[in-house]
Structure 1
Amino acid sequence: MEVRLLRFFVAVYEQKNLTRASEQCFVSQPNISNGIKQLEEEMDKTLFIRHKRGVEMTNEAHYFYPIAKRLLGELETLPKMFQKKKIENKITIGVADSLPQEHKKQFFKTANALNDLVEWSVKPIDRSCELNLLVREWKLEEDLFLPLWKEDYKLCVPSGHPLLDKKEIDLVEDLKDEKFIHCPPCEAHKQCLSILSSENQNMITVANCETKTETLTLLMAGLGLTFLPEHFIDGWYGFETRPYKGPNYFREVGLSYSRKSLQNPAVSKVINHFSKNVLKTRPFKEFGYYN
């Protein structure tokens, strides 16, 4: 069935007159009449009854009209389905491994809302990125740094471990011959080793992991104790944290960027917002993730 015949039918149905329908379709009246006749022959149904004042619709015409309108509407929108909307705002951002999901989620949710529409290119941290979401120690020396959140490292103890009977753990007395899981690439690894080695010479290293995620997995499996950032461990299970006697250490996470990146208006809006506003997050316990 030709599309032009559907248009002819809809025009005649709505105008109730062949002359007005031909004007609407920018064709001659004989073209409209022949078109309707062809359509009726294809459908083997009478759609209109002609008379001097115009046409009268049959029951078949009433039934066919909404179908024809829908088909024409779908045909008109079909080309637009494959037209890619041009996005003006684009940001290339590098995201460091082992950052807490809740904090990353709230950052992207807030940053995305600052612009009408943003096309994000998310990669591992790299000097080619306009923004890098990372730990302060990992930023390039020449880059600026805007802190977003700070989190303490917690002593994590596997479930069922005897140390969990203590409200506070003494690094000297309580950790003798204890097994530890380490993450050498971690920004706080050297601090961790200095704390443990200075306080306790009997520490046993049972694993060295490349990422905090792997460290967390071995902790949940019960292989040993470890230190991990407090927000990174939110919502996970198989271990508990305990306060300890000894020096504390932390990490600061934020945005690293060059002055050149501020030439991108979308990036500039993100930096300007977080320079004046704190990143708002919700603890996992509010979502009922803790057992």
Structure 2
Amino acid sequence: MDIRQLKYFVAVYEQRSISAAARQCCVAQPSLSAALLQLEQELEVSLFLRLPKGVTPTEEGDKLYGHAGKLLAQLASLKASFQTPAAKVRFRLGLIRALGVERMSTLLREFSQQIPGLELHLVEPDAACDARIITPAQQYAGEVLQPIWRDRYLLAVPPSWPLSLKPQISLSDFQELPLIKRTPCDAWELLYPELNRHNIQPAIRADIQTIEYALGLVSAGVGCALVPDFDSLKQRSDVVLKPVQSLTMERTIALAYRSNNAHPALPVLQQLCLNSSALLINK
């Protein structure tokens, strides 16, 4: 048993997904799976039950998580006790809404870990900042745009609805369809003109801002909602994600910064975003 195996185990335990844990740890999924299997063989227990969507810890997994968390925390504390406190590096990052909690948490954690003394301030995208994570439509003159992710929008449907059995959703299915509208939403800006052009009127049940609230209403059976195809959403059992036929609804998420920006932390963020983009291509 080694520290690397324990770090991988904790990541899988917290993410409830081997693929998500591999992305968090920046390691190939087969390597993480092999390390996890080796740990289980050494302890002679099963730490997780493999499910069609993700994993769930066993009783032995719950037991190991308590010990592993304490051990890793003690190790981090030990390392910190021998390190000279780094000078504070202030960085203001503007963020739009609905970027995906899992992937943004991973990106920001890696950014913080690679810049000693980083004091990260997350602000609205239109506030004064050192860099922004936005869509291309929000780019300012003089900004360089570096693509990170490309999201496809799908329709989240309550699993108990007959519509969830269809392989894809047609525009005609939106006629009087109970719909949770999100504002702002890139997909709605594309879908709404098409519905108008075909004289299709959905039944708007709510108009909200966040994906989390929209998914909560879908899960409760209030209506359907357009959401990005985040990996974490695909693993949920309380909503079903369906493509909309004959309509491409996508958005690009990019890092934006001034070409003359000389902030010392910016190159690190640029490289992390480049790594995320490469992982998406090789996915």
Please tell me the TM-score bracket, short chain as reference. 0.5 to 0.7
Q: Helix, strand or coil for the counterpart of 1:180?
A: strand
* % identity of equivalent residues: 20
1:70 aligns to what? none
Distance 1:238 1:200 in 2: 31
Shift of 1:104: 0.5
2:228 aligns to what? 229
Shift of 1:240: 0.2
Contact 2:134 2:253 in 1 (8 A): yes
Shift of 1:200: 5.3
Contact 2:94 2:124 in 1 (8 A): yes
Q: Helix, strand or coil for the counterpart of 1:85?
A: coil
TM-score relative to the length of structure 1? 0.59
Contact 1:106 1:280 in 2 (8 A): no
Shift of 1:274: 4.5
Deviations along 1:12-36, one digit per CA (max 9) or x if unpaired, are xxxxxxxxxxxxxxxxxxxxxxxxx
1:135 matched to 2:135: yes
1:244 matched to 2:244: yes
Residue among 259, 275, 278 paired with 1:277:
275
Q: Helix, strand or coil for the counterpart of 2:265?
A: helix
Contact 2:91 2:130 in 1 (8 A): yes
Give the greater-gyration-radius structure (CA): 1
1:120 aligns to what? 120
Structure 1's 157 and 205: CA in aligned 2 closer, same or farther, altered over 3 A?
same
1:219 aligns to what? 218
Distance 1:125 1:178 in 2: 33
Distance 1:130 1:189 in 2: 30
User: 1:189-200, aligned counterparts within 5 Å?
Assistant: 189-199=188-198
Deviations along 1:252-278, one digit per CA (max 9) or x if unpaired, are 1121211243x111113322x147534
Contact 1:182 1:209 in 2 (8 A): yes
TM-score relative to the length of structure 2? 0.61
Distance 2:145 2:242 in 1: 32
1:91 aligns to what? 91
Structure 1's 243 and 281: CA in aligned 2 closer, same or farther, altered over 3 A?
same
Letter in 1 for 2:122: V
1:257 aligns to what? 257
Letter in 2 for 1:277: N
Q: Helix, strand or coil for the counterpart of 1:91?
A: strand
Backbone CA RMSD of aligned residues: 2.7
Q: Helix, strand or coil for the counterpart of 1:222?
A: coil
User: 1:1-291, aligned counterparts within 5 Å?
Assistant: 85-172=85-172, 174-199=173-198, 201-231=200-230, 233-261=233-261, 263-271=262-270, 273-274=271-272, 276-279=274-277
Deviations along 1:147-198, one digit per CA (max 9) or x if unpaired, are 11111000111120111222233222x3332111111322332112123333
Letter in 2 for 1:105: S
Q: Helix, strand or coil for the counterpart of 2:221?
A: coil
Structure 1's 158 and 275: CA in aligned 2 closer, same or farther, altered over 3 A?
closer
Shift of 1:243: 2.8
Structure 1's 225 and 195: CA in aligned 2 closer, same or farther, altered over 3 A?
farther
Contact 1:155 1:227 in 2 (8 A): yes
Structure 1's 202 and 127: CA in aligned 2 closer, same or farther, altered over 3 A?
closer
Q: Which runs of 5+ in 2 are unaligned?
A: 1-80
Shift of 1:122: 2.1
Distance 2:107 2:278 in 1: 8
Structure 1's 222 and 141: CA in aligned 2 closer, same or farther, altered over 3 A?
farther
Structure 1's 113 and 216: CA in aligned 2 closer, same or farther, altered over 3 A?
same
How many equivalent pairs are there?
A: 197
Distance 1:88 1:156 in 2: 43
